[in-house]
Amino acid sequence: MMQQIEKRSHREVPNEEINMKTCPKQYVLAVGDALNAFTGKWKLFIIGALIPGKQRFSELEKNIPKINPRMLSKELRDLEANGIVKRKVNDSLPVSVEYELTPSGYAMRLMFDSMIDWGMQHRAWSMPGKITRQ
């Protein structure tokens, strides 16, 4: 269906040699999948922008402040390769390109809901500020 480039980044959540006592391996893999699917600075915003419906490249550019076209293009290709976004070329004149979430992409909402729950609770509860990374 879609050929995956099998190059593994040393930053990706690794799939091999998982040896945690209590978490079944397949679960860890699935979480890793979910994580790899929307990490990076921009993917979440792209998916969020597409939840209300399909959008064109330039619309996404406008709706996602500070993203540059190189990043938008790259992340869209990435999301497409992973079956989360579908690229549709309308052969009208002039040609227009529309991006849309796949069913799998829309299905992420449930996951986001639980992340929202955790994030809001965590903010209210234990954190005066926001989550950071060093």
Q: Contacting DNA (CB under 7 A), which of 6, 10, 52, 65?
A: 10
d(CA 91, CA 48): 26
Q: Contacting a copy of itself (CB under 8 A), which of 40, 71, 80, 100?
A: 40
Closest among 70, 79, 12 to 45, alpha carbons compared: 79
Q: Which is nearer to a copy of itself, 66 or 91 (CB)?
A: 66
| # residues near DNA by CB under 7 A | 29
Alpha helices in 10-86 (DSSP H): 25-38, 43-50, 57-63, 69-81
The answer to whether residue 130 forms part of the interface with DNA (CB under 7 A) is: no
d(CA 5, CA 43): 19
Give the shortest CB-124-to-DNA separation in angstroms.
25
3-class DSSP assignment, residue 102: coil
d(CA 80, CA 89): 13
The answer to whether residue 71 forms part of the interface with DNA (CB under 7 A) is: yes
The answer to whether residue 88 forms part of the interface with a copy of itself (CB under 8 A) is: no
Residues that bind DNA (CB under 7 A): 7, 9-12, 40-42, 56-59, 66-71, 73, 76-77, 87, 93-97, 133-134
